[in-house]
Amino acid sequence: MKEVLLLNADYEPLNVCHMRRAMALILLGKAEVLEIDELPLRTAGGELPAPSVVKMRYHVRRPMPQLRLSRHSILARDRYTCQYCGVKGKDLTLDHVVPRWLGGPQTWDNLVACCRKCNLKKGDKTPNQAHMKLKTVPRRPHFIPYISLPAYLKAQNRGDWSLYIPYFEAFGPEAEA
């Protein structure tokens, strides 16, 4: 199903929602279309322009977003790349740099994306003990995106959304190199 960027009345990104939700907001008069997708929306009555970016007509109050420590956030932070061998893919696990049995905490600084092969090789050892080196030092992102980190990274790749998504250097295209 197609996804639509939902903005607050002040153009702050609120969410990425499905086309059905965006159309409901538009038809109820709660939102207006800012950008249109190139592929039209087919209905029983014909074709309608499909929204790509929608802005709420009124301001939605919400608490300050919190960057949650989750599997998806760690994988997105590491750009779905194994931090030991550099292999990219969706079939990754999480690895504790300092193993839990040695007192390694469940924090941003101790969790990295890891392929199954490297995870088995490292086992319950530290990277030094396993003779493995991290590609990058794991850190908590120093910003709080308005939308979830995986949705933010996906949104960066959409040209029609780039005007409305704030840019953070840590996750820019040059950060991949």
Higher pLDDT pick, 174 / 51: 51
Residues 52 and 84 in one domain: no
Residues 76 and 59 in one domain: no
**Residue 93 structural domain:** 71-122
CATH of the domain at 113: 1.10.30.50
Domain annotation covers residue 38: yes
* Residue 152 half-sphere exposure toward CB, CA atoms < 13 A: 26
Nearest to 166 by CA among 175, 176, 174, 153: 153
pLDDT tens-digit readout, 81-130: 999 999 998 789 999 999 999 999 999 999 999 999 999 999 899 999 99
Residue 130: what pLDDT?
A: 92
Helix (H) or strand (E) holding 27: helix 19-27
Residues 57 and 109 in one domain: no
Residues 59 and 85 in one domain: no
DSSP code at position 115 = E
Residues 11 and 60 in one domain: yes
- Confidence band of 177 (pLDDT split at 50, 70, 90): very low
Domain annotation covers residue 102: yes
Residues 80 and 57 in one domain: no
Domain annotation covers residue 88: yes
As for how many domains the chain has, the answer is 2
pLDDT tens-digit readout, 149-159: 677 777 777 88
Contact predicate 37/160, CB 8 Å: yes
Q: Is 0.75 topped by the overall pTM?
A: no
Residues 109 and 75 in one domain: yes
Contact predicate 109/78, CB 8 Å: no
* Helix extents (H) in 30-165: 71-77, 116-122, 149-156
Residues 59 and 91 in one domain: no
Q: 3-class DSSP state for residue 51?
A: strand
